[in-house]
């Protein structure tokens, strides 16, 4: 194994560790919002590490078009995954999924109630 | 390198089965959506490892397309969830 292959193996191993931990969080955590934050961060970063490993492999083996595509894929995952997660969290909250009973704060609910009060004042 | 990639593929398979378990168990519709989003991201990693194993470039193109479709699906499902109550 050359030096580049060792780097590729290390990057893919880190990515796999993140992926598995994110999936364990998805199974073990108590409510939608906890699961969402575990999977979004861990699985996204894990997949980006795997894609980075592939990019290093491609550039080391003289295949730059594959490397550029891999970098494009990683950038795309890094950009879109948080946007999708935010949309899902917003949809879950609006559809009335309750928080875990031991949650201590719900600032979105407070902000929502406050803005509705202000709307009432303006209507009067 | 081949052995390492085979181990990597088995670990990714385990991860996707954990996501599928959450998708089957629920209990609410947003839980299933979160599991689907995570599964889509894991499959992108799967395609990348497969491209190293087979030394084919087009698996990376598959991963890019999968990332696009997964994002569109997540956002569409989230918009759908906004108009519904959680156990409908």
Q: In the prediction, which pLDDT does B15 show?
A: 94
**Dist. CA A103–CA A87, nearest whole Å:** 21
Q: Note the pTM of the prediction, 2 decimals.
A: 0.86
The tens place of each residue's pLDDT in chain B, 88 residues long, gives: 889 999 999 999 999 999 999 999 878 888 999 999 999 999 999 999 999 998 888 999 999 999 999 999 999 888 888 876 655 5
Q: In the prediction, which pLDDT does A121 show?
A: 64
Instruction: Kindly write down the DSSP assignment for every residue of B20-69, as one continuous string.
Output: HHHHHH-SSHHHHHHHHHHHHHHHHHHHHHHHHHHT-SHHHHHHHHHHHH
Long-range pairs of B20-26 with CB within 8 A, sequence gap ≥ 24:
B21/A27, B22/A26, B22/A27, B22/A35
Q: In this complex, how many residue pairs, one in chain A and one in chain B, have their CB atoms less than 8 Å apart? A: 160
For residue A74, list chain B residues with Cβ-Cβ distance below 8 A.
none
Checking if the pLDDT of A114 tops 80, the result is no
Kindly indicate the confidence band of residue A119, based on its pLDDT and cuts at 50, 70 and 90. low
Chain B residues 28-57 with CB within 8 Å of chain A: 28-31, 33-35, 37-38, 41-42, 44-45, 48-49, 51-52, 57
- Tokens found for residue A22: 């994110």
Best mutation target, B8, B41, B50, to test chain A (most A CBs within 10 A): B41
Which one of B42, B67, B86 has the shortest CB-CB distance to A95?
Answer: B86
Query: Which pLDDT tens digit goes with each residue over A65-88?
Result: 999 999 999 999 999 999 999 999
Give burial (CB, 10 Å; 0-12/13-18/19+) of A34: middle
B3 touches chain A (CB under 8 A): no
Q: In the prediction, which pLDDT does B39 show?
A: 93
- The count of other CB atoms within 10 Å of the CB of residue A64 is 11
* DSSP annotation of A106: -
Which one of B38, B57, B82 has the shortest CB-CB distance to A43?
Answer: B38
Q: How far is B36 from chain A (nearest CA, A)?
A: 11
The residue of chain A with its CA nearest to that of B34 is: A36
């Amino acid at each position: 194994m050359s030096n580049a292959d060792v780097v590729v193996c290390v990057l893919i191993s880190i990515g796999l560790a993140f992926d598995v931990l994110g999936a364990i969080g998805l199974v073990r955590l108590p409510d939608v919002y906890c699961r969402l934050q575990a999977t979004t961060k861990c699985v996204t970063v894990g997949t980006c590490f795997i894609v980075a490993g592939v990019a290093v492999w491609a550039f080391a083996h003289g295949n730059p078009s594959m490397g550029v595509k891999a970098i494009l894929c990683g950038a795309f995952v890094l950009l879109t995954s948080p946007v999708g997660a935010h949309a899902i969290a917003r949809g879950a909250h609006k559809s009335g999924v309750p928080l875990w009973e031991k949650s201590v704060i719900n600032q979105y609910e407070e902000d929502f109630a406050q803005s509705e009060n202000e709307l009432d004042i303006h209507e009067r | 390198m081949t052995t390492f990639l085979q181990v990597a593929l088995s670990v990714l398979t385990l991860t996707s089965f954990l996501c599928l378990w959450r998708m089957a168990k629920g209990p609410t519709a947003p839980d299933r959506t979160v599991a689907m989003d995570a599964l889509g991201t894991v499959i992108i990693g799967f395609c990348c490892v497969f491209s190293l194993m087979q030394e084919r470039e087009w698996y990376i193109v598959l991963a890019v397309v999968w990332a696009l479709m997964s994002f569109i699906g997540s956002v569409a499902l989230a918009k759908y969830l906004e108009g519904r109550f959680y156990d409908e």
